[in-house]
Structure 1
Amino acid sequence: MMHKILSIFCCLALLLPLNSSFAREVNITADLPSIIVKHQGKTVIIERSQDTMNSIMPDFALTSRPCPPLCIQPMQLATGVETVAELEVLDYLQRWHQGDDTILVVDSRVANQFKRSTIPGTLNIPWTALSGSANPMEISEILSNRFNVVEMEGLYDFSQAKTLVMFCNGAWCGQSPNNIKVLLKYGYPAHKIKWYRGGMQDWESFGLTTVSGK
């Protein structure tokens, strides 16, 4: 009996390295297996699914949504606004997790979409709260309370404004583009706005970790 237990223990010991980050079959990049972020007070590991048969969720498998309104967005949304992809988003998330509070990654989708699934470490500000038809007072509150913009008698000081990384459902989604254009009209510095054009559709297509928002 003891011999069998020792044999099982030895076999398990031999298998342990296979579960280490060095033995992953699917890394994010060749030398980056995962990153760690905080999401709503909990530690979350962002990695790619190790199931090489994993497929994109049905919500993002559709290829032909009605246009308008769900039309393909340009690669460059506005002058000075940088378009970023997954590795840049991961870098911003990691820097924020490590204490850089000048960065904010914003999920611009409506609340029910955020609750269903989002990128760990993001803040949900529904696009309707920053749209052209939103209450200017509410927009001002978001600028001040969320984005670190100082308001003085109707004038805005953006010198300490956060760098925003904004996204929505994908390259066909107009929610984050709408918000970015509104922020620019308010005077938000273009170089402090980053746009993740691929959004949730591209994030899902790479098998990256998602969480339920609140």
Structure 2
Amino acid sequence: MSSTRFLRLTALALCLGIPALALAAGNKITPTLESVQVRHNGQTVTIQRGHDLNATLPEIYRKTDRGCPPFCVQPMVVVEGVETIGELDVLDYLQRMSQGDTDILLVDSRTPDWVMRGTIPGSVNIPWNRISRDKTGTFETPGEADTFEQTLRDQFNVVRDPSTGGWDFTNAKTLVLFCNGIWCPQSTANIKTLVGIGYPPDKLKWYRGGMQDWLSVGLTSVQP
């Protein structure tokens, strides 16, 4: 640590009544959590807080005025029964995944052009338009319907019930969905579609703050 940064931290510590040595030790996520290790694209990634006191949000997340529709402020509860969660909850799910829990999937609902700018380590990109249907509740082409069913089967562990022809969610994964932030409707659209076909709401979690909040607290992101 540079002497200049140490002096800044010491001054801050004195103002807040915090021992300077505690600040010098690093920038933890919580007082008891320093980092979380996850697997992303076959490699181990350590999620931690940034250590640059002058860091700012990337320019693409600094805008405060976005046209509505489509970029409308999302509600706190997107669908009754679907839990809205925060950063520490996401980290808890990531820890469980890294410890071998294969029944959880962290889903980045954004389109690939946004994902290329950075995503949450441990997430899988499933673009929102691969899941969401048109306003009539159907898919525009048979190909879209096939892609939707393949996603349910191969990634969400949902299968067809041969006796009824409907969906069998017995072994469905718990999905933690996110997109760009509280102004982004992509993950909410997916949640509404999934609940609409019978996905159990208690197996759907919504990280409302998304990438904007994740980056605003200095948590690690990765680029494909």
TM-score, normalisation: structure 2: 0.83
Question: Structure 2: where are the runs of 5+ without partners?
Answer: 1-21
CA displacement at 1:55 relative to structure 2: 1.0
Of residues 191, 197, 205, the one that matches 2:208 is 197
**Misfit runs of 4+, over 6 Å:** none
Deviations 1:107-150 (A, max 9, x none): 00001111220000000000010011342222111111100112
CA contact (8 A) 1:34 1:47 kept: yes
Matched ranges for 1:87-126 at <5 A: 87-126=88-127
Q: What is the match of residue 65 of structure 1?
A: 66
Alignment: residue pair count: 193
Q: Report the CA distance between 1:24 and its aligned residue.
A: 3.4
In 2: Cα distance, 1:157 partner to 1:113 partner: 32
Q: Report the CA distance between 1:181 and its aligned residue.
A: 0.4
Question: Distance in 1 between the 2:171 and 2:64 partners?
Answer: 40
C-alpha distance in structure 1 between counterparts of 2:94 and 2:58, whole Å: 23
Report the identity percentage.
Answer: 51
| Aligned pair partner of 1:180 in 184, 191, 216 | 191
Could you state the TM-score of these two structures normalised by the residue count of structure 1?
A: 0.87
Displacement of 1:152 in angstroms is 2.9
Match of 2:84 in 1: 83
Name the CA distance, whole Å, in 2 between partners of 1:73 and 1:131: 17
- Equivalent-residue separation in structure 1 for 2:146 and 2:195 (angstroms): 17
Distance 1:206 1:168 in 2: 16
Partner residue, 2:218? 207
- Indicate conservation of the 8 Å contact 1:34/1:46, yes or no: yes
SS of 1:104 mapped into structure 2: strand
Contact 1:24–1:50 (Cα < 8 Å) also in 2: no
**Superposed displacement of residue 22, structure 1:** 9.3
1:148 and 2:148 matched:
no
2:44 maps to a residue whose letter is: T
Q: 1:1-20 counterparts in 2 under 5 A? A: none
How far residue 54 of structure 1 moved from its aligned partner, in angstroms, is 1.1
2:169 to 158, 163, 166: 158
Coordinate RMSD, CA, aligned: 1.4
**Structure 1 residues not aligned, in runs of 5+:** 1-20
For 1:176 and 1:33, how far apart are their aligned partners in 2? 29
